[in-house]
């Protein structure tokens, strides 16, 4: 949906330096953009492209404006302003309501007239779906599932029985919601499976990335609060609760009964141990291991970052002797001070 620079400036609340009548077709990256495209600079790594870009206009911060010879949309938060412009130029694609004849729909299902049910999807009995919701091909929706309106379930998604999904929820392919949690007890010889009796509740405006899994509660529910954004291949264990507007990057694993606060950001490939709490507004950097509760907002990290293999090997040897070496040091220090 093309627009003029003037219309975009108004929409994204940025200050335009340039021709408000200039037609913009869409957004593009600085190094890819041609005439008619709007670009942006939000990460200083890409500053060198500012000089050579052929974009018709660039969203950027005031401090970067002097380096830019095209039209500018100056913003205090260029990434957010770019996001708004991209959304304005690319409104969600409409679909034609339809139930594909190959879809299998069980009895007592509520599907309003504005919905789409894709080919070879299976909708279990007693399911209720809100209007304008799109369920793509190959999805399996269990019994008594409730899905709100304006949701988009892309394809090949599995929702087990009794799951509840809010409004405007987006779920990407391969996602499994409501599989049994990992509840087992050892009777001395073997593991007894513990019935997983709870459910999963996903609130409004949540987005869930491809191949992510969210287990049903053992007792009580696993909860994903409003506005949470979860990337691909994230594992959420039973009875974990993720607070509103928290963002979780790819490959993160939450064990069971974790309580994550509001507005947290969990870096990719991190692992969170069971039964711990993370306060509101906590940022965890990538590949961190969280094995105890975090009680205060702030930025937290763990792990070892990469070096050449030879140096790493030597340092690893020392790490494995660390306590012994430190004790020798304290002894020496003590002897000298005496």
Other CB atoms within 10 A of residue 190 CB = 7
Helix 322-337 with 309-320: angle, nearest 10 deg: 60
**Nearer to a second copy by C-beta: 6 or 253?**
253
Ramachandran sector of residue 233 (left: φ over 0; alpha: ψ -120 to 50; beta: rest): left
Q: Assess 112 for contact with a second copy (CB under 8 A).
A: no
Per DSSP, the three-state class of 142 is coil
Q: Which stretch binds a second copy (CB under 8 A): 56-64, 67-75, 107-115, 155-163?
A: 155-163
Candidates 101, 92, 136, 140; CA nearest to 115 is 136
CB of 337 to a second copy, least distance (A): 9
Binding mask 178-217 for a second copy (x = CB under 8 A): -xx-xxxxxx-xxxxxxx-x-------x-x-xxx-x-x--
**Nearer to a second copy by C-beta: 68 or 169?**
169
| Tokens 């309580």, residue located | 259
Instruction: Say if residue 140 is exposed, middle or buried (CB neighbours under 10 Å; 0-12, 13-18, 19+).
Output: middle
**Nearer to a second copy by C-beta: 61 or 140?**
140
Contacts with a second copy in 242-301 (CB under 8 A)? Answer: 245, 247, 249-251, 253, 255, 268-269, 271, 273, 275, 284-292, 294, 298-301
Q: Which of 100, 238, 245, 275 is catalytic?
A: 238
**Nearer to a second copy by C-beta: 5 or 141?**
141
Q: Which residues contact 168 (CB under 8 A, 6 or more apart)?
A: 148, 149, 150, 151, 204, 205
The single residue among 99, 122, 146, 279 that binds a second copy, judged by CB under 8 A, is: 122
Instruction: Say if residue 135 is exposed, middle or buried (CB neighbours under 10 Å; 0-12, 13-18, 19+).
Output: buried
Cα torsion 256, 259, 263, 264: sign? negative
Candidates 30, 32, 27; CA nearest to 3 is 27
Contacts with a second copy in 69-108 (CB under 8 A)? Answer: 77, 79-80, 82-84, 86-87, 90, 100, 102, 104
Q: Assess 1 for contact with a second copy (CB under 8 A).
A: no
Instruction: Say if residue 70 is exposed, middle or buried (CB neighbours under 10 Å; 0-12, 13-18, 19+).
Output: middle
Q: Which stretch binds a second copy (CB under 8 A): 59-67, 68-76, 107-115, 314-322?
A: 314-322
| Tokens 């694993």, residue located | 253
275 as an active site residue: the answer is no
Q: How far is 57 from 53, CA to CA, in rounded Å?
A: 9
**Nearer to a second copy by C-beta: 20 or 29?**
29
Q: Assess 23 for contact with a second copy (CB under 8 A).
A: no
Binding residues with a second copy: total (CB under 8 A): 126
Binding mask 216-245 for a second copy (x = CB under 8 A): ---xx------x-x-xxx-x-x-------x
Q: Assess 49 for contact with a second copy (CB under 8 A).
A: no
Active site (catalytic) residues: 238
């Amino acid at each position: 949906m093309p627009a003029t620079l003037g219309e975009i400036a108004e929409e994204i609340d940025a200050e335009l330096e340039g021709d408000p009548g200039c037609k913009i077709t869409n957004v593009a990256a600085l190094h890819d953009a041609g005439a008619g495209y709007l670009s942006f600079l939000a990460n200083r790594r890409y500053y060198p492209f500012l000089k050579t870009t052929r974009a018709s206009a660039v969203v950027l911060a005031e401090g970067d404006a002097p380096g830019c010879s095209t039209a500018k949309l100056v913003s205090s938060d260029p990434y957010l302003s770019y996001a708004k412009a991209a959304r304005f130029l690319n409104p969600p694609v409409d679909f034609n309501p339809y139930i594909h004849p190959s879809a299998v729909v069980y009895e007592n299902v509520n599907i309003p007239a504005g919905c789409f049910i894709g080919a070879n999807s299976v909708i279990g009995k007693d399911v209720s779906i809100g209007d304008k919701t799109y369920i793509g091909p190959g999805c399996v929706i269990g019994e008594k599932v409730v899905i709100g309106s304006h949701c988009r379930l892309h394809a090949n998604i599995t929702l087990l029985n009794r799951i509840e999904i809010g409004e405007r929820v987006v779920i990407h392919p391969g996602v499994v919601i409501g599989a049994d949690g990992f509840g087992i007890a050892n009777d001395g010889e073997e593991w007894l499976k513990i019935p997983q009796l709870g459910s999963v509740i996903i609130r409004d405006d949540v987005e869930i990335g491809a191949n992510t899994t969210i287990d049903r509660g053992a007792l009580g529910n696993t909860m994903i609060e409003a506005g949470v954004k979860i990337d691909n291949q994230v594992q959420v264990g039973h009875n974990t609760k993720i607070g509103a507007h928290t963002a979780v990057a790819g490959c993160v694993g939450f064990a069971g009964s974790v309580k994550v606060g509001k507005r947290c950001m969990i870096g990719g490939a991190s692992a969170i141990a069971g039964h711990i709490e993370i306060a509101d507004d906590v940022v965890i950097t990538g590949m961190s291991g969280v094995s105890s509760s975090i009680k205060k907002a702030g930025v937290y990290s763990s792990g070892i970052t990469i070096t050449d293999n030879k140096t790493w090997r030597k340092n690893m040897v020392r790490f494995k002797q660390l306590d012994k070496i430190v004790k020798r040091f304290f002894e020496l220090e003590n002897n000298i001070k005496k």
